Structure 1
């Protein structure tokens, strides 16, 4: 795989059982690139390591006054320099290719996992961890995969040079052959503490990244409550912890680097001292002594790759562990499904866990006293089963988990209570997979986005058409209600068989909410729509209202019946107090209307007044 061939047609199925297994899976999938890097690395390192032999031959030729040997040494030097240049050039090229393709493979499998899990991903893994894995961790994993082939080439070179020196000059070669392995393993006792410090640094950096992302996401709220300095101080402390951890980690790696310089120097002193002693006795020639001396000097270069591979592994190990943790998250069943997805799924939407039924082609409103329960139920209706092993939701009698993931996502669309608007133009925002039966103008009108379009044009410097106006990242230049309405328009334009909306109008005023309820109801006529809400304006437009209490369906009816007949429903919708609930319960037991001034009657009166205003308008 070359860089120009990216992305991979199929990045493969990762082994996410552990960090080391994930790294090994990456290596197995890049055997071709690793072998190429190994070959070029051997050419490079062996060419560099052969230079001392050429120098030794040249020195001895001068001592012996031999022109033929000097010419031979020159020719060997030319060959070694050519091999060095060629090997280093293509080693770098192949190593970078291995790095980038490994990082691309990791990013592709992470993106595929995010698409499979959808909104459930950030509920099971912290958002900061996902960001860390998809950015910095990917780079560190690629670094280790790339460094492995160069380390292997350096290790093979050391073995070859040691054997060659023993054969070339046994007296000095034995010292080098014994000393170099000692140099290679001398830093091993320091690697565990260095790795622990690196892990701690990565952990603190991940926490700081998560804190920064949360602070940026909630900046508007922080400014509203005057909490910028509080969160800034928290980030300062987290940043200082990262700095201290980085300094402690750097000290350990500095010690390892110092040992990598000190020990070869001591070996060099020992070889020179013993070599001079042997030269005086006539047991070695000057050229042989220069060759052995130069070899030790040159071998410090491949020895540095032992330090690099140790650093690469210590930094990539926690990164691979985090990536494996994200990639190990699974959907309840295989995303390919066990049923044929060629026929579009349709019919009633039914949740066996709660008993919730949303008849096909009708608008069903669901009232939950707990917003978190509502969010989890909305996720389950979208084909994301809960972690407690609850039975899959049925669409037309077919479990969503048995459908291929693409078919399930096409059939059911879930818009959560905090939808995300990506940066770009409004036209790009609404450029989503759709049935083609609902146009952009219809969706925007149903979501009551007229004022939003005007605000986009007014805030744009060069866009006369609202569709060409740019939306900032996450729609931060818009109000909460404007973002909600644009997200609702995006959901409406897709025109799915089943649309699940979680509190779609919580940030808009009552008049706009009433018009959205009418517009969405008309636009979704004949399609199944489920709305999680406690707003009377939406509940009154629903064909069917379902109260879910303590994880089960407690009541089914229409809004006006339930508000008077079901105390639990009334408590959620009207937010009435316990005293008001007791008064209303007593009145209903005696066959009387709810007490005047309680939440139920006040809500009824206010709602009728709002209806009169809309009709007069």
Structure 2
């Protein structure tokens, strides 16, 4: 028998996502032990209940015949049947619910694994609201069908068994029952297509309402700022009313199906009672036989309800399984080639020949290249990227991480050592390139929990905190703690509120930077990591970042002169294209557009030399003597004043 203690499953398996039917069949096969157990207990329950009319008929006939021994025997038989009924019903419920929960948990694990595998590519292929609807309502409907199928199997066996027994026991009435049952079972089939269409419409409208709600919540702060909260609330209210109307419309059809399942068996019961009473009056059957046949027909109303339930479960679960299979069949776009394994990963063998080579730790390293902009980031250097359009910096950072949701179909992804990041196994891509966006999220918990992230183990937490200049952050956390003395003794036990709301923007930025530094990826992409800190702190962060990330590839998207001055290489991206590269002071001197962006000039100096080409400056990163031996950089001046 299946056990819920094994959840979550260590391996949910590789689903057959070619169609909804194949996916449901795959689920049934994966849980065949639980299904067989539920069907067995259900058959025991049904057989015990179906045998009660025979025991009652025996008791009635023993009273007519004045036989005390048979009356006692029938009483003992009813007691035994009562025990078997209770046992079968209890175990059936237990195994059926376990099958339901296990199937739902398996599907949710598959969807979670697929979401992690695809990353932001998922929302490029399917709406976020659709994913939410599949992982909630659709999962329950799929689990319902898996659970209902075992009970339907036991109901079918009981119905066939009782029909055969009636034909053998009392042919005159048994033939009527056996001939009527197929009609009763199939009477609802003409109504199912309309019911399914209405259910699909309800689900579609519910998915749209869910997507609208998720989008509204995500942009609630912006909506309040522009006064659009009431507008979107009215839109959601309208969408929810459409869902309600569709649900009522669907419920009417299902209530009609339920009515048919009550009326037709009721007519059969009346016909059997009428004909049986006539046969009993004629003396052709005994009173006990009449009671047995009537009770057996009344029992058949019970398993026939399972026929209605399986029809409803199939109608609801079939489109749900189809949608789940469509999500599970998605795969990461392999712009750089590479065959996909059944587990959703991509073959890694060609990586070495593609220019990516493992270092001593086995990690993937190489030049990072963005085909869309022409940006090339040499391995092992601190490269600063200045974008003429500030909004383009975030898009570029996403592309460099290989998970840009807005990348057009067929557009190549960023390449690491000549291999598309989309073609790498997800774990390898995420371990190789880490992107920290402008507004990183801090989860609630202790500082130790915040910094407990997958990492190379080469950068300690205190080193990362020191490089990110988090000393004052630790003091602020200690002062706000319930036990400041305890936190002062162990700063890592300091608690961070949800999203770090008790900290300033600059403090949150520095903690997020420390978390990224602890991870120590081969390529670290930072999007404006110091935009909310003061100049003195920014200068020290730039120095600490370069020292701690020595030998690692680091990309900083920024226009801060203090950070640019520390960079080994600066690349200027104007209108989506990398137009010039070199050291910060060289670009200030020879590229007026770069100077306008960095110094915030309103008018570029027309007396300067024209913009440099794609390889402006020295062949490699210029040395520190570029500005002259006696010249002091803005960073050095800032450090002296500090």
Q: One fold, TM greater than 0.5? A: yes
Deviation at residue 149 of structure 1 after TM alignment: 0.7
Deviation at residue 534 of structure 1 after TM alignment: 4.6
Which runs of 5 or more residues in structure 1 are unaligned?
592-607
Deviation at residue 97 of structure 1 after TM alignment: 1.8
Secondary structure, aligned partner of 1:541 = coil
Q: What pairs with 1:246-395 in structure 2 (closer than 5 Å)? A: 246-331=247-332, 332=334, 333=338, 334=340, 335-339=345-349, 343-351=362-370, 354-368=373-387, 374-375=393-394, 377-384=396-403, 388-390=409-411, 393-395=414-416
Is residue 416 of structure 1 aligned with residue 437 of structure 2?
A: yes
Aligned to 1:485: 510
More deviation, 100-109/461-470: 461-470
Aligned to 2:582: 557
Cα distance in 1 for partners of 2:455, 2:92 equals 48
Cα distance in 2 for partners of 1:611, 1:311 equals 75
Out of 553, 561, 566, the residue aligned to residue 541 of structure 1 is 566
In structure 2, the CA distance between the partners of 1:294 and 1:220, relative to structure 1 (3 Å rule), is same
In structure 2, the CA distance between the partners of 1:282 and 1:314, relative to structure 1 (3 Å rule), is same
Cα distance in 2 for partners of 1:188, 1:484 equals 61
Out of 528, 538, 555, the residue aligned to residue 530 of structure 1 is 555
Cα distance in 2 for partners of 1:613, 1:569 equals 22
Cα distance in 2 for partners of 1:462, 1:246 equals 53
Cα distance in 1 for partners of 2:641, 2:229 equals 46
Cα distance in 1 for partners of 2:409, 2:290 equals 73
In structure 2, the CA distance between the partners of 1:572 and 1:157, relative to structure 1 (3 Å rule), is farther
Q: What pairs with 1:561-576 in structure 2 (closer than 5 Å)? A: 561-563=586-588, 565-566=590-591, 569=594
Aligned to 1:86: 87
Q: Residue by residue, what CA displacement relative to the aligned partner does 1:59-96 show, whole Å, maximum 9, x if unpaired?
A: 12222223343344234323322321221121112112
Q: Residue by residue, what CA displacement relative to the aligned partner does 1:288-341 show, whole Å, maximum 9, x if unpaired?
A: 221121122222222222222233233333432332232222122432532287
Deviation at residue 285 of structure 1 after TM alignment: 2.0
Aligned to 1:603: none
Cα distance in 1 for partners of 2:475, 2:224 equals 26
Cα distance in 1 for partners of 2:19, 2:389 equals 37
Q: What pairs with 1:157-172 in structure 2 (closer than 5 Å)? A: 157-172=158-173
Secondary structure, aligned partner of 2:365 = coil
User: Is the contact between residue 359 and residue 528 of structure 1 (CA under 8 Å) also seen in structure 2?
Assistant: yes
Out of 439, 450, 454, the residue aligned to residue 429 of structure 1 is 450
Q: Residue by residue, what CA displacement relative to the aligned partner does 1:512-566 show, whole Å, maximum 9, x if unpaired?
A: 5554434323322221101234555544432222244566543322344445644
Cα distance in 1 for partners of 2:522, 2:611 equals 45
Cα distance in 2 for partners of 1:499, 1:590 equals 29
Aligned to 2:15: 14
Cα distance in 2 for partners of 1:460, 1:313 equals 55
Aligned to 1:44: 45
Aligned residues: 598
More deviation, 520-529/327-336: 327-336
Cα distance in 2 for partners of 1:181, 1:370 equals 71
Is residue 496 of structure 1 aligned with residue 516 of structure 2?
A: no
Q: Residue by residue, what CA displacement relative to the aligned partner does 1:428-460 show, whole Å, maximum 9, x if unpaired?
A: 111012223322233234334445444444544
Q: Residue by residue, what CA displacement relative to the aligned partner does 1:436-495 show, whole Å, maximum 9, x if unpaired?
A: 332223323433444544444454445652533444444455555544333222111111
Cα distance in 2 for partners of 1:435, 1:401 equals 22
Cα distance in 1 for partners of 2:529, 2:272 equals 79
In structure 2, the CA distance between the partners of 1:48 and 1:242, relative to structure 1 (3 Å rule), is same
Q: Residue by residue, what CA displacement relative to the aligned partner does 1:406-426 show, whole Å, maximum 9, x if unpaired?
A: 333322222234433333222
Cα distance in 2 for partners of 1:101, 1:268 equals 39
User: Is the contact between residue 337 and residue 401 of structure 1 (CA under 8 Å) also seen in structure 2?
Assistant: no
Out of 437, 440, 446, the residue aligned to residue 461 of structure 2 is 440
Which runs of 5 or more residues in structure 2 are unaligned?
352-357, 613-632
Q: Residue by residue, what CA displacement relative to the aligned partner does 1:10-50 show, whole Å, maximum 9, x if unpaired?
A: 21111223333222221121112111111111111111111
Cα distance in 2 for partners of 1:480, 1:590 equals 36
Secondary structure, aligned partner of 1:542 = coil
Aligned to 2:150: 149
Cα distance in 1 for partners of 2:589, 2:248 equals 67
User: Is the contact between residue 337 and residue 405 of structure 1 (CA under 8 Å) also seen in structure 2?
Assistant: no
Cα distance in 1 for partners of 2:220, 2:445 equals 21
Q: Residue by residue, what CA displacement relative to the aligned partner does 1:232-254 show, whole Å, maximum 9, x if unpaired?
A: 33333333333333332333222
In structure 2, the CA distance between the partners of 1:423 and 1:231, relative to structure 1 (3 Å rule), is farther
Cα distance in 2 for partners of 1:321, 1:458 equals 54
